[in-house]
Structure 1
Amino acid sequence: MRLFFCVLALLTATAAQAASLDKIEPANWWVGMKRPTVELMVYGKDIAKAKVTLAPHAGVSLVKAEALESPDYLFVTLAIAPKTKAGELDLAFEVAGQHFDRHYPLLARAPGSAMRQGFSQKDVIYLITPDRFANGDPGNDDVKGYGDKANRRLPGGRHGGDLKGVMDHLDYLEKLGVTQLWLNPVVENAMASYSYHGYSATDFYRVDPRFGANADYRALSQAAKARGMGLIIDVVLNHIGSNHPWVKDLPSQDWLNGTRFHPTNHRRETLHDPHVAASDRAQFNDGWFVPSMPDLNQRNPHLATYLIQNSIWWVEYAGLSGIRIDTWSYSDQAFLAQWSAALMNEYPHLNMVGEEWSTNAAITSYWQRGNHPKDGYVSNLPSLMDFPLQEALIKGLTEPETWNSGISMLYQALANDFLYSAPNNLVVFADNHDMARVMTQLQGDRALWQMAMTFILTTRGIPQIFYGTELAMDPKSSDHGVLRADFPGGWPGDKVNAFTGTGLDGGQRQALGFMQKLLNWRKTAPAISGRLVHYVPQDGVYSYFRLSPAQQVMVVMNKNDKAQTLDLGRFAELKGHQLGHEVLSGNTYSLTGTLTVPAKTAWVLELK
């Protein structure tokens, strides 16, 4: 009996010490990519000690297998020649007498994948917080093994919206007139609470099962494409969620910027300030947002490669039309140049927009591709979110009219376009998921809301609207959980259903009809991709033109509480035009002599 227990103890100890191979990321790659190598992150107990072999496969070679400080990660680099054929690679891992064989798929790319067209001025981006848009599959509201259970009564909780909910309402979005869908991150956020927003990743390669599966995300992209809409992914390069497996088992000690919370100072200026204290700059880049979001150190070359490959993988896997990058400048500056160069090299016509939340155009413009700043930094990022113009819009419509305030703020903001290499490629918006809704910012003034949306949809740049803005949603709060309110009609039993029109009040119907008309007009208006010419505002009235060979449009914004009469002799662009067809009302106006514009009104006039 004693011998039996000794043998049992020995077997138990051996089993406890056994190596394993649990995961390989990315789970597949493609032939025909411009990137000549792929680095596999192999994870499993003591896998770092493994000897790796690759069975012969024409065009593919094993470059190296590299271990870092953790015994549980191994980084395997494969070189893939340009004319390699699709197929399965046979990889073998041997560690301590154990053998693990894995078939690694090398897939063929979809036709034209490398030349995919990104979003442009012709598009309108519709921003969706998936958890709050529509619950297409109540069966995935709560998933075994995941905390943060669904609770619609909790503003910061999960409400049950998912990918199927978006898929189910593509008819509505197509009729609305939007052409690109940007979803807040849908990758796994296995956090104990406040996980619905998606910005605390715990698995970069897996859609959170409460939203659906990877295949659902790809199916959404394909279904949207069939309706003339693209899908933009929201990626986070700067941080992860504190429940990410890396936190408990770091591949290397420098994988994170510190292992304990130390806050960022959020001072973007430190990257550009010629007088900056080095410690302030380091705190901006290496500090954490909150204790639950550990900050990634992209200076580690293996982490940099992992993040680059992950972004390429999602674009290729899901057939995406663009990328939105969260907290752009918080990541390492050299890495950002490397990451953006790799993506643009793989997809020359892809568009990518970075979130640099600064209202200083000098800081925002620094990051745009082709800007050639004094320090010699080379960025490859095509687009930025135009936060300076968003601030100017709200101030311009809410502050008193003086020679240097009020609606002239819009003119001044656009006059700063000389700072940008490509101002027409900036993404313009009135609100987003991180700020009070535009109706709230405009104190519930529907006339000003209509002026704001007219401006966003007719000025230079690529418009983005936040879900529910088409209904003039006004939760009267800047609390994130409240402003990201459930879209009416997205849940069974909702008394108001914007998808069908049931229960909408008069104001909501008017707002939706206005947005549908302007958005669908925009689809057929070549002028919105044309040149912008604007005039210095006078007496609270701002006038500008969008000009293309095929169409000329004049926009007039009268912010005043009373009608204003314009002397049309001021506008050289009206030469040869006698009439203006107002897009929204359908009325036609004479463009000779003067034009009287009603109070708090924006007109969009097609010149005849």
Structure 2
Amino acid sequence: MRSLNKIILIPLLALTFLMSNTANAQDIIDRIEPTFWWVGMHNPNLQLMIHGDKIGDLNPSVSYKGVTLEQVIKVENPNYLFINLNISPEAKAGSFPIEFKIDGKLVFTYKYELKQRRKGSAEREGFCNKDIIYLITPDRFANGDPSNDTVKGMREAADRSDKNGRHGGDIKGIIDHLDYIKDMGFTAIWVNPLLENDMEKYSYHGYATTDYYKIDPRFGTNNDYLRLTEEANKKGIKIIMDMIENHNGLFHWWTGDEPTNDWYHYQSEEKKTFTSHKKFTIPDPYATNTDKEAYSDGWFDTIMPDLNQRNPLMANYLIQNSIWWVEYANLGGIRQDTYTYPDPDFMAEWSCRIMAEYPNFNIVGEEWIDQPAIVSRWQKGKINENGYESCLPSLIDFPLQKALETALNLEKKPYSDTFNSLYETLAYDFLYPDPYNLVTMIDNHDIARFYNQVNENLDLFKMGLIYLYVTRGIPQIYYGTEILINNTEIPDDHSLIRTDMPGGWKSDSVNVFTEKGLTKEQKEVKDLVKKLNHFRTDNPALQTGQLKHYVPRDEVYVLFRFDEKKKIMSIFNKNKDLTSVELSHYQELLEGATKAINALTNESYDLKKGTINVEGTSATILIIE
């Protein structure tokens, strides 16, 4: 909220300037967003949001070759002005003046910058099924710069003793450990939100944005973020930015001074209401508009106002902001939080405009539900009964994660197989236009650590981990999962799920990066993750190869991945004892094969014997020769 002194001072200054010569732009304009733009973009249109005291009383004009002022939009709040520009292909990079006048008199001139795009920017490749994603909650990963743990003037200071507080992890901490991430074999990093979250408490997670164009100073600066993407790219690692179009933080700089009366849904305090979280209302052919709006328009939380994307100015602001970060930071992808909560038509436009600008890019949306029929309707290429179309390439595969957890925890019952839920969920892939582009995972920042999900059973943990690497999709590992991080007391406590990475702070007695203090089991799992990462990267059959699987029987589930050069057979055995697997049942895919090599142990198998013995409660990966 702006101070009373500033609100009183600015009109007096503006009046003085009008009575004399021209004013300095920075004395009247608080912000112009986007802060700058680029020439040569696919979409030639650019809308500027200009904020300053009584700025709406002024009339802007532009004189620059290739740039045309198409429209000036004045809104009910005189502190805002929106101008629509057209930037033709002939426009050159450089600064151009925007003159602001009143009654024909020049008040001030603002120089707006158009930058040159990076070479090949439009053709950039997003993350894909050749990648393996490492998910990081930055506040909890590593503290590379203790001097920014607490920043003067920001509402929340660091307190590592508070599970809900800020612990000091930052961008430098990630940069410092890029070699670890590369050595482990990860090729992309999804970082939970890094934009400013100047909230009073519980701000570490980043999902309550208070400035869409500024990295939170407790994580670093915009330049630090650029350095992260540059250093990561040098090592062959893509950076995926976590974005939120549905809501922002209550202390966003425009709160209390919104451009329009419908900037937020339920903007006034007395009308505030919260989302129903009833996801089925959106695809439900019988749902009322009342119920649909109760899901889409309600606030996500008491401190997270719901953005009204049906307001075209808001919609354009959010879309341009996403494109700005892709271009500015040379991103390798976007992860969109709460993808289905905003207005569906807006999200279609948002995804389509980004993909039109970057045709080889990738965006993964969050639809947190275990129903493939609901998740699949949002993916690009899906034909929906109501005609809804999206340009969203990827979604997080929550249904497969839940099925895997269920399958591993089920106890054997007569006339049933515990792997059935996993088999059947994968069979639902006919619903997806592109199941190979789904992001798969065993855990993330919102659900219990996988080791807790399987009740700290190491054998089941390893089975689930291996399944992640041999099934279709783009595997994602949450930081610390590689060393069995878990939370036994309250497995679903988000702040404890997002625990500090051991070794990310100098005082830590255990260090994942040096392996100091790690247990035998932690080292074993870390080595397994590393081996699986590199094995998958070295074998295109596990990335883009075809998938075939057999109906589970006798607690054994077999899955094949193959291309023209290689065939890989994975055997999952939930029997507690050594099990002899009859190969004759799998001859459709083993025909002519005589030998197999265990991908993890290099043990050789003679397939002519007709059987393979596999350990109880285990997963075996075989390279078929």
- TM-score normalized by structure 1? 0.96
Please say if 1:100 is aligned against 2:101.
Answer: no
Post-superposition offset of 1:13:
7.9
CA distance in 2, matches of 1:70, 1:245: 15
2:300 alignment partner, SS class = coil
Q: Given that residues 31 and 80 in structure 1 are in contact (C-alpha distance below 8 angstroms), is that contact kept between their aligned partners in structure 2? A: yes
Q: Map Cα deviations across residues 85-140 of structure 1 (whole Å, 9 max, x no partner).
A: 11111112235867232211111111111011111111101000000000000000
CA distance in 2, matches of 1:94, 1:434: 51
Please say if 1:22 is aligned against 2:30.
Answer: yes
1:602 alignment partner, SS class = strand
Post-superposition offset of 1:11:
9.7
- Residue equivalent to 1:389: 400
Q: Percent identity?
A: 45
Equivalent AA in structure 2 for residue 410 of structure 1? L
Q: Given that residues 433 and 483 in structure 1 are in contact (C-alpha distance below 8 angstroms), is that contact kept between their aligned partners in structure 2? A: yes
Deviates more, 1:184-193 or 1:17-26: 17-26
Q: Given that residues 47 and 95 in structure 1 are in contact (C-alpha distance below 8 angstroms), is that contact kept between their aligned partners in structure 2? A: no
Match of 1:500 among 495, 498, 514: 514
Match of 1:67 among 69, 74, 81: 74
Residue correspondence of structure 1 range 30-41 to structure 2 within 5 A: 30-41=38-49
CA distance in 2, matches of 1:277, 1:92: 49
- Residue equivalent to 1:583: 599
Please say if 1:85 is aligned against 2:62.
Answer: no
Q: Map Cα deviations across residues 311-336 of structure 1 (whole Å, 9 max, x no partner).
A: 00000000001110000010001101
Please say if 1:427 is aligned against 2:443.
Answer: no
Match of 1:285 among 284, 289, 296: 296
- Residue equivalent to 2:534: 520
Q: Given that residues 92 and 100 in structure 1 are in contact (C-alpha distance below 8 angstroms), is that contact kept between their aligned partners in structure 2? A: yes
Deviates more, 1:397-406 or 1:594-603: 397-406
Please say if 1:546 is aligned against 2:555.
Answer: no
Post-superposition offset of 1:182:
0.3
Deviates more, 1:191-200 or 1:67-76: 67-76
- Residue equivalent to 2:371: 360
Deviates more, 1:79-88 or 1:106-115: 79-88
Number of matched residues? 598
Do the aligned partners of residues 405 and 105 (structure 1) sit closer, same or farther apart at CA in structure 2, a change above 3 Å counting? farther
1:263 alignment partner, SS class = coil
- Residue equivalent to 2:494: 480
- Residue equivalent to 1:298: 309
Q: Map Cα deviations across residues 171-202 of structure 1 (whole Å, 9 max, x no partner).
A: 10001100000000000000000000000000
Please say if 1:270 is aligned against 2:303.
Answer: no
CA distance in 2, matches of 1:515, 1:395: 22
Equivalent AA in structure 2 for residue 568 of structure 1? L
Unpaired segments ≥5 residues, structure 1 = 1-9
Post-superposition offset of 1:12:
10
Post-superposition offset of 1:277:
2.7
CA distance in 2, matches of 1:378, 1:281: 18
Equivalent AA in structure 2 for residue 164 of structure 1? K
Match of 1:573 among 589, 598, 605: 589
- Residue equivalent to 2:23: none
CA distance in 2, matches of 1:512, 1:360: 32
- Residue equivalent to 1:7: none
- Residue equivalent to 1:6: none
Match of 1:239 among 221, 226, 247: 247
Please say if 1:206 is aligned against 2:200.
Answer: no
Match of 1:159 among 160, 167, 189: 167
Post-superposition offset of 1:275:
2.0
Deviates more, 1:230-239 or 1:18-27: 18-27
- Residue equivalent to 1:413: 425
- Residue equivalent to 2:21: none
- Residue equivalent to 1:138: 146
Post-superposition offset of 1:503:
1.2
Q: Map Cα deviations across residues 370-417 of structure 1 (whole Å, 9 max, x no partner).
A: 011111111110011101101000001001234556212111000000
CA distance in 1, matches of 2:283, 2:602: 49
Do the aligned partners of residues 343 and 601 (structure 1) sit closer, same or farther apart at CA in structure 2, a change above 3 Å counting? same
Unpaired segments ≥5 residues, structure 2 = 1-7, 17-26
Equivalent AA in structure 1 for residue 407 of structure 2? G
Aligned CA RMSD, in angstroms, stands at 1.5
Match of 2:411 among 400, 412, 425: 400
CA distance in 1, matches of 2:125, 2:9: 58
2:369 alignment partner, SS class = coil
Deviates more, 1:135-144 or 1:500-509: 500-509
Please say if 1:561 is aligned against 2:559.
Answer: no
CA distance in 2, matches of 1:106, 1:274: 46
- TM-score normalized by structure 2? 0.94
CA distance in 1, matches of 2:66, 2:332: 30
CA distance in 2, matches of 1:292, 1:301: 24
CA distance in 2, matches of 1:46, 1:540: 71
CA distance in 1, matches of 2:77, 2:11: 21
CA distance in 2, matches of 1:89, 1:126: 42
Q: Given that residues 417 and 553 in structure 2 are in contact (C-alpha distance below 8 angstroms), is that contact kept between their aligned partners in structure 1? A: no
Q: Given that residues 34 and 82 in structure 1 are in contact (C-alpha distance below 8 angstroms), is that contact kept between their aligned partners in structure 2? A: no
CA distance in 2, matches of 1:224, 1:95: 49
Q: Given that residues 401 and 407 in structure 1 are in contact (C-alpha distance below 8 angstroms), is that contact kept between their aligned partners in structure 2? A: no
Q: Map Cα deviations across residues 128-177 of structure 1 (whole Å, 9 max, x no partner).
A: 00000000000000001112111111111000000000000001000110
Q: Given that residues 14 and 28 in structure 2 are in contact (C-alpha distance below 8 angstroms), is that contact kept between their aligned partners in structure 1? A: no
Deviates more, 1:173-182 or 1:561-570: 561-570
CA distance in 1, matches of 2:54, 2:33: 17
Equivalent AA in structure 2 for residue 597 of structure 1? V
Deviates more, 1:537-546 or 1:93-102: 93-102
Do the aligned partners of residues 413 and 202 (structure 1) sit closer, same or farther apart at CA in structure 2, a change above 3 Å counting? same
CA distance in 1, matches of 2:619, 2:77: 61
Deviates more, 1:181-190 or 1:403-412: 403-412
CA distance in 1, matches of 2:617, 2:182: 30
Post-superposition offset of 1:466:
0.4
